[in-house]
């Protein structure tokens, strides 16, 4: 896993490293630009067929652009530099690299001022064009000036009108800021970010506009970045999951491979608990038990032969009755991990049952869906428990808003901080579901999941995820392992669906569940 930083954190880390170890910032810029040049060449194999335009601002981001231009020029490419501000405003490393470029005086290098560039007559409007966005970096704060806004809008318009154009952003898409986005942002096919992954690229406008993200080294060892990762955020990669993923022992038998109990369902909401149960079966638990109101028993009998089923008393609305804990307690004693919530309903009597389970369950537990909404009325139930076993909450933004009593905007302005604070207060771990999911341990460490795509943005996706997580929790008995591996495995099913069908919007939850075995095979395959 690799350290992950917000824009502000990465600036502080790089400054501290430069001051402590004496690495010249000019060398870091050179490494960044040279490595970005290599990525550009690999990204566009037929690069010599493209007209290359590098849009440069006035800060270090522009300096990266000038280094890229120099390496393109050295390797025989024709390059056009478009300055979006007065070059007299350049300073420091950016000015030095601009001066070097000006001294090269090559016929293959042309300089334009943005005000002198006639876009309507320019080759930018037609044919194969590469636009390298080196306008603004991660230091952008507040509302942009009209001049920068117009440049961003111009580049986006060129991209829209010329379907042969490609935009590659350097470090971050220009216009992107931390917190709530108030500026237009350049929409890139790919982003080459420097040194370490920036968390703002993974959410909201950052995720929408960054395209494929490549991290290039700048000459700072990853161990140094780790030492300055004071906030404790990490990006989880495939090799990390391979090392963590719980496997079965050759000498194992069904009950030594984990017994997962799934509690939920109500009249009209049987599908949720069925999907959780089926995904738990596919994810490797030795046995899956399900407890549900008796009125939905027929749905289980028809769909899930492999699940050990228990019918519970029900309310008049067809949800689990409040007096069902005694019967459920025996099942909990048999289980290694418990999931409660899918399709549970919001019935007040069922809420009493839920609170009984949370207070008295001595096994590691996953709480999801309707259960999260009901405990939002009294989250202290999470700390007033008889056992210190682990609890994993799996909320989406709306559910976490209800739990934390924070507005959506308050969460989005500091999603890591808000989740970390709640996690520490209630001594729970949280798998926060969003466009990029992340896990927060009770101790405050945060792990960002790198698999998955918008295929998962559909009803029932959370039920599949919770079933995977409880299955791995039963098998591993480790909260961290089950959260990280569960989130990654779930994302892999979406990635595999896209590879198989070529789209990200026609899947059903059943089709993703059916891809769980293939994803596990890839994880367990050591070759």
CATH of the domain at 390: 3.40.1190.20
- 171 found inside a domain: yes
- 520 found inside a domain: yes
- Residue 201: Cβ within 10 Å count: 26
Strand pairing class (109-113; 165-170): unpaired
Looking at residue 121, its pLDDT comes to: 64
Task: With a cut of 80, say whether residue 488 has pLDDT above it.
Answer: yes
Nearest to 48 by CA among 82, 80, 78: 78
Exposure string of 488-515, with b = 16+ CB inside 10 Å and e = fewer, is bbbbbbbbbbbeeeeeeeebebeebbeb
CA distance 164 to 130: 9
What contacts 227, CB < 8 A, 6 or more positions away? none
For residue 315, give the DSSP letter: -
CA distance 332 to 5: 40
- 238 found inside a domain: no
pLDDT in tens, 321-368: 999 999 999 999 999 999 999 999 999 999 999 999 999 999 999 999
The verdict on 418 and 352 lying in the same domain is: yes
The verdict on 225 and 260 lying in the same domain is: no
Looking at residue 16, its pLDDT comes to: 87
Task: With a cut of 90, say whether residue 303 has pLDDT above it.
Answer: no
The verdict on 155 and 184 lying in the same domain is: yes
CA distance 249 to 36: 45
- Tell me if residue 393 falls in helix, strand or coil: strand
Task: With a cut of 90, say whether residue 499 has pLDDT above it.
Answer: yes
The verdict on 148 and 277 lying in the same domain is: no
Task: With a cut of 70, say whether residue 288 has pLDDT above it.
Answer: yes
The verdict on 318 and 395 lying in the same domain is: yes
- 237 found inside a domain: no
Strand partners, 433: 396
Percent of the chain scoring above 90 in pLDDT: 84
- 149 found inside a domain: yes
Looking at residue 405, its pLDDT comes to: 97
Nearest to 234 by CA among 484, 497, 490: 484
- Whether 97 contacts 29, CB under 8 Å: yes
The verdict on 306 and 440 lying in the same domain is: yes
Q: Which of 200, 231, 262 is a domain's end point?
A: 231
The verdict on 453 and 318 lying in the same domain is: yes
Beta strands in 330-432 (DSSP E): 337-340, 364-367, 391-393, 429-432
In degrees, to the nearest 5, what angle opens at C-alpha 207 toward C-alphas 203 and 210?
140
pLDDT in tens, 54-74: 999 999 999 999 999 999 999
- Whether 282 contacts 517, CB under 8 Å: yes
- Quote the number of domains for the chain: 2
Supply φ then ψ for residue 51, to 5 degrees. -80, 130
- 93 found inside a domain: yes
Strand pairing class (308-312; 364-367): unpaired
What contacts 99, CB < 8 A, 6 or more positions away? none
The verdict on 199 and 263 lying in the same domain is: no
The verdict on 353 and 483 lying in the same domain is: yes
- Residue 22 pLDDT level (bands cut at 50, 70, 90): confident
Looking at residue 117, its pLDDT comes to: 73
The verdict on 188 and 52 lying in the same domain is: yes
The stretch 38-45 carries a mean pLDDT of 96
The verdict on 212 and 271 lying in the same domain is: no
Exposure string of 441-471, with b = 16+ CB inside 10 Å and e = fewer, is bbeebbbbbbbbeebbeeebbbbbbbbbbbb
CA distance 500 to 511: 11
Task: With a cut of 70, say whether residue 160 has pLDDT above it.
Answer: yes
Q: Which of 196, 231, 266 is a domain's end point?
A: 231
- 370 found inside a domain: yes
CA distance 472 to 482: 5
CATH number at residue 72: 3.40.50.10260
The verdict on 33 and 157 lying in the same domain is: yes
- Lowest-pLDDT choice from 52-61, 76-85, 250-259, 276-285: 250-259
Q: Which of 231, 261, 277 is a domain's end point?
A: 231
Looking at residue 364, its pLDDT comes to: 97
Q: Which domain holds residue 99?
A: 2-231
Strand pairing class (429-432; 212-216): unpaired
Q: Listing from the earlier edge strand, what are the strands of the sheet with 79-83?
A: 109-113, 79-83, 51-56, 129-134, 165-170, 190-194, 212-216
CA distance 410 to 301: 44
Looking at residue 526, its pLDDT comes to: 67
């Amino acid at each position: 896993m690799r350290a992950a930083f917000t824009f502000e954190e990465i600036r502080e880390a790089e400054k501290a490293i430069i001051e402590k170890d004496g690495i010249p910032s000019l060398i870091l810029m050179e490494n960044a630009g040279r490595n970005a040049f290599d990525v550009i060449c690999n990204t566009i194999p037929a690069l010599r067929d493209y007209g290359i335009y590098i849009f440069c601002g006035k800060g270090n981001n522009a300096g990266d652009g000038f280094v890229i231009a120099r390496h393109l020029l050295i390797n025989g490419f024709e390059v056009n530099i478009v300055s979006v501000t007065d070059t007299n405003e350049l300073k420091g490393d950016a000015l030095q690299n601009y001066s070097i470029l000006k001294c090269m005086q090559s016929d293959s290098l042309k300089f334009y001022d943005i005000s002198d560039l006639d876009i309507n007559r320019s080759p930018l409007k037609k044919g194969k064009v590469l636009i390298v966005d080196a306008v603004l970096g991660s230091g952008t704060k507040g509302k942009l000036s009209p001049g920068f806004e117009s440049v961003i809008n111009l580049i986006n318009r060129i991209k829209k009108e010329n379907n042969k154009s490609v935009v590659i952003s350097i470090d971050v898409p220009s216009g992107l800021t931390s917190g709530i986005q108030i500026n237009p942002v350049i929409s890139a096919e790919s982003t080459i970010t420097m040194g370490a992954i920036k968390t703002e690229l993974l959410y909201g406008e950052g995720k929408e506009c960054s395209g494929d993200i490549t991290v290039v080294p700048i000459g700072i060892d990853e161990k140094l970045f780790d030492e300055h990762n004071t906030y404790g955020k990490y990006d989880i990669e495939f090799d990390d999951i391979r090392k963590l993923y719980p496997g079965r022992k050759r000498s194992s038998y069904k009950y030594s491979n984990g017994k997962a109990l799934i509690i939920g369902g109500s009249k009209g909401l049987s599908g949720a608990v069925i999907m959780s149960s089926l995904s738990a079966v596919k994810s490797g638990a030795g046995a899956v038990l399900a407890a549900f109101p008796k009125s939905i028993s027929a749905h289980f009998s028809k769909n899930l032969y492999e699940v050990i089923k228990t019918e519970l008393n029900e309310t008049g609305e067809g949800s689990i009755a409040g007096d069902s804990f005694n019967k459920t307690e025996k099942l909990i004693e048999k289980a290694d991990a418990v999931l409660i919530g899918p399709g549970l309903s919001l019935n007040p009597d069922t809420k009493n049952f839920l609170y009984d389970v949370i207070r008295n369950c001595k096994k590691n537990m996953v709480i999801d869906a309707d259960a999260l909404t009901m405990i939002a009325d009294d989250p202290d139930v999470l700390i007033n428990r008889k056992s210190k076993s682990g609890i994993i909450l799996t909320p989406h933004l709306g559910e976490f808003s209800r739990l934390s009593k924070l507005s959506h905007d308050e969460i989005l302005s500091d999603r890591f901080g808000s989740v970390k604070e709640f996690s520490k207060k209630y001594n729970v771990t949280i798998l926060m579901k969003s466009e990029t999911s992340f896990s927060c341990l009770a101790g405050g460490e945060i792990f960002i999941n790198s698999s998955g795509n918008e295929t998962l943005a559909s009803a029932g996706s959370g039920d599949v995820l919770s079933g995977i997580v409880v299955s791995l929790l039963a098998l591993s008995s480790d909260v961290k392992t089950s959260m990280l591996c569960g989130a990654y495995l779930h994302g892999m099913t979406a990635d595999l669906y896209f590879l198989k069908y070529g789209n990200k919007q026609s899947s059903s939850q059943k089709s993703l569940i059916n891809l769980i075995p293939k994803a596990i095979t890839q994880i367990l395959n050591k070759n």
